[in-house]
Structure 1
């Protein structure tokens, strides 16, 4: 097994230093042992995640991995995660929360410490289990191609590479090596709970497959390899070209699909599924969405869900964004100049002397207020129902300032549902301010009473930061 493992390591391009993700289970402890004994002598370090989901057992796993590193002279890195809180805040399952947290940490470590790869201990059985899970929930070719030996870390925008050096080894081979080599590991007691689908497949279905075909792992692995080649051919010939026409992601968006163009494409439902499949959307969900696209009538404001993303219909587009988060709507009090953040949106506040001829709005991410009207302290928060302002130049039937709801401004500005959810407003302080009256919708519209005039001596500038 060591010789086969070393052959896999030698095939990796530009492999200078590797970060090993080690949980304390048999697969990852065997992987660590194989790296330690490898004749390739590739430098490596161990990363351990404590998700604090199994009480003392989680701490015991950490102690096991830390002790192995100490005895083996291998650097040990670990991080504690508030997994339950993250899952609740982001509206995702514990499994998805743990997956996101660990890969984001691995990506950060690779960028800051110079690792060539993150190595994880997925094996051939894991690959077949994933194949069957995808088949049960409904999938396309991509879901049947299995995990790749080398791929990208599943973090948006990451260039970090993920390697699975045990993917060609069965769980039986790994257990046999562990026993013969004296590897110590911890068994997660939840692995025996067959109420979980993966455990049911692992403990009940795969043994049956093994009776029907002792070589089922090799057979299904070969099928996945063939399907992978077919998928790659389809991507090159059709999907990638269509995606370049249909999709232009912006900002927090992962994908924006032009529904009108999609409607006129050959086999739009299949194409929609291929575009959305990487974001975890199942075939039934894509079918429902495609039916909506093909119908006449109301289109905007419909939401379709996957585990970690939402597909939101807006205007003539379908926008894919991360799953909803529980936003802190309390906002932030701005008492002086400085850098601030609301719901992940960063902005600066500066006080400047005003001179005639200075631009009122240098960039789309800047608004300028008369400082005598908008004085410190004031608040910046996410908008709420009932918020309103008097836009510059808008008059009512009596010639006075015209009032407009922020929700109506969204319609005028063509805001999508995801954009509305994180739209910040400026709320002035003072007892004289009417309920719901805001000084601006950042960075779109300012209230008439806060504008710069010929009497302005200084201004408050609120500018969005990347």
Structure 2
């Protein structure tokens, strides 16, 4: 079809010399994609996933695909997934599990067969349904652009055609295909849109699909301008530790900028709104996804990957104290009068309420106040280790020793403790 040729060229999806891996389910759209590309003399290999979700029907699809590739002399790659178990183990929907399994395997297979791209068979109707689905679930402007022609190595050459055009093409060349029975069931959200919502909308406007796609085109241009502005705003507000709150509040739409920074990290709209509301509040409020934390800290929002705090390794050596003993001056080493250490040493993280006597001082000071004076962030404070002798802190590791255990004129033995690289 000339329309497909023009679409491929316009969006620069691939070149005539490229090898293309075609995602082949056996349905009308993927079969049409393969046959079209072969008729245009592209070099193709095919990839089929058996998700084992429809019993014998899943095996029927695989058999059909094998025969189709055999007849057209196309190399076929297949894989079998236990999709339900994957979804259960990861606590995600079956649809999400299937999607992630599929695209991960497609990319692995594309590299293995040296294909330039993986072509999937999304078409205009899919784009309309995706836009409506995003609108129902709640989305920003990028979710209203429809399906993109290209996403990395994934290309979609059939977005210029609708379902009727695809079926008509297959009928014209006498090509059979299989039908997924679940597409006829009012079971999943997308099917509800296809079978119920769109027909109701077509009663109001028979050209509703065309209207939605035209709107998506307009929003695509608007989204390009929006994304450029967002990237510029990110540069203005980001700091190494996270986000500068004062800079964020200078933006025309600070909550939107905040959302665009945090959403890729897994924070949803409601969480972002809650974080935004804490910006003028007290420090310490924390929010988290499975992988990231955001903490309000004075004039910053700290953004930190969730990771295990690694206990430092300490090297402990004892020396006789002599007049020529040189006390190291680096923060990674602390020296103590060994005879003043009457109890076993232990290492733990700093706790609220901890106190010590900073080296060179006489009175006790809260560790939290000391760290604040040193302009430590909340994240830095959380990771501050303290070395204790019994109940007493003798060293804020890497920072400052306790004055009560210092070397003096009565010292006979020196304990030198240093942090070491792992």
- TM-score, scaled to structure 2: 0.68
192-201 or 257-266, which deviates more: 257-266
In structure 1, the residue matched to 2:39 is 37
Displacement of 1:233 after TM fit? 1.1
Q: In the alignment, is residue 288 of structure 1 matched against residue 274 of structure 2?
A: yes
Contact 1:396 1:402 (C-alpha < 8 Å) held by counterparts: no
Q: CA deviation at 1:184?
A: 2.3
In structure 2, distance between residues paired with 1:182 and 1:392: 83
Residue correspondence of structure 1 range 61-460 to structure 2 within 5 A: 61-152=61-152, 161-236=153-228, 238-247=229-238, 257=243, 261-263=247-249, 265-277=251-263, 282-300=268-286, 302-304=287-289, 312-314=293-295, 316-317=300-301, 319=303, 399-405=342-348
From the superposition, tell whether residues 128 and 310 of structure 1 become closer, same or farther in structure 2 (CA, over 3 Å).
farther
Q: Who wins on radius of gyration, i.e. which is larger?
A: 2
Partner of 2:407: none
Aligned length: 340
In the TM superposition, residue 55 of structure 1 has moved relative to its aligned partner by 2.5
Equivalent residue number for residue 392 of structure 2: none
- Give the match's secondary structure for 1:118: strand
Tell me what 2:4 maps to.
Answer: 5
Task: String of CA shifts for 1:160-180, please: whole Å, max 9, x gaps.
Answer: x22111111111222222333
Contact 1:49 1:80 in 2 (8 A): yes
Change (3 A) 1:35 1:267: same
1:44 counterpart SS class:
strand
Other-structure match for 2:19: 17
Which string of whole-angstrom CA distances, capped at 9 and with x for unpartnered residues, describes residues 211-238 of structure 1? 32222222211111111111111222x2
Q: CA deviation at 1:43?
A: 0.6
Instruction: Report the CA distance between 1:241 and its aligned residue.
Output: 1.3
Deviations 1:77-109 (A, max 9, x none): 112223333333333222222222221222223
CA distance in 1, matches of 2:344, 2:173: 81
For residues 183-204 of structure 1, what are the alpha-carbon distances to aligned partners after superposition, in whole Å with 9 as ceiling and x for unaligned? Answer: 3222222223324221111001
The separation in 2 between residues aligned to 1:191 and 1:198, in whole angstroms, is 9
For residues 243-300 of structure 1, what are the alpha-carbon distances to aligned partners after superposition, in whole Å with 9 as ceiling and x for unaligned?
23445799xxxxx555564355442211122334556755444323322444334322
Question: For the Cα contact (< 8 Å) 1:263–1:294, is it kept in 2?
Answer: no
Counterpart position of 1:424: none
Is the CA contact 1:50–1:58 (under 8 Å) kept in the aligned structure 2?
yes
Following superposition, the deviation at residue 27 of structure 1 comes to 1.2
SS of the counterpart of 2:154? Answer: strand
Q: Which runs of 5+ in 1 are unaligned?
A: 153-160, 251-255, 325-342, 344-363, 371-390, 421-460
Root-mean-square deviation over aligned CA pairs: 3.9
**Cα deviations by residue, 1:381-432 (Å, 9 ceiling, x for unpaired):** xxxxxxxxxx9989998533332346969x999897xx99xxxxxxxxxxxx
Change (3 A) 1:401 1:280: closer
TM-score, normalised on structure 1? 0.63
1:274–1:195 distance in 2 versus 1, CA, 3 Å: same
Q: 1:425-451, CA deviations, whole angstroms, 9 ceiling, x for partnerless residues?
A: xxxxxxxxxxxxxxxxxxxxxxxxxxx
For residues 112 and 365 of structure 1, the distance between their equivalents in structure 2, rounded to whole angstroms, comes to 41
Contact 2:129 2:190 survives alignment (8 Å):
yes
Cα drift, residue 5 of structure 1: 1.9
Q: Is the 8 A contact 1:151 1:163 kept in 2?
A: yes
> In structure 1, what is the equivalent of residue 388 of structure 2?
none
Q: Contact between 2:284 and 2:378, CA under 8 Å: does it hold in 1?
A: no
Distance 1:278 1:218 in 2: 31
- Specify whether residues 13 and 140 from structure 1 end up closer, same or farther in structure 2 by C-alpha distance, changes over 3 A only: closer
Q: Secondary structure at the residue paired with 1:296?
A: coil
Unaligned runs of 5+ in 2: 317-332, 353-367, 384-419
Instruction: Return closer, same or farther for 1:129/1:247 CA change in 2, 3 Å cut-off.
Output: farther
Closer, same or farther in 2 for the Cα pair 1:242/1:23, shift >3 Å?
same
SS at match of 1:87: helix
Q: What is the rounded CA distance, in whole Å, between the counterparts of 1:249 and 1:193 in structure 2?
A: 50
CA distance in 2, matches of 1:243, 1:79: 41
Structure 1: how far apart are the matches of 2:103 and 2:205?
A: 35
Asked if 2 retains the 8 angstrom alpha-carbon contact of 1:24 and 1:64, the reply is yes
Contact residue 18 and residue 43 of structure 1 kept, 8 A:
yes
Find the counterpart in structure 2 of residue 423 from structure 1: none
Aligned 8 A contact 1:19 1:46 in 2: yes
Contact (CA 8 Å) 2:8, 2:14: kept in 1 or not? no
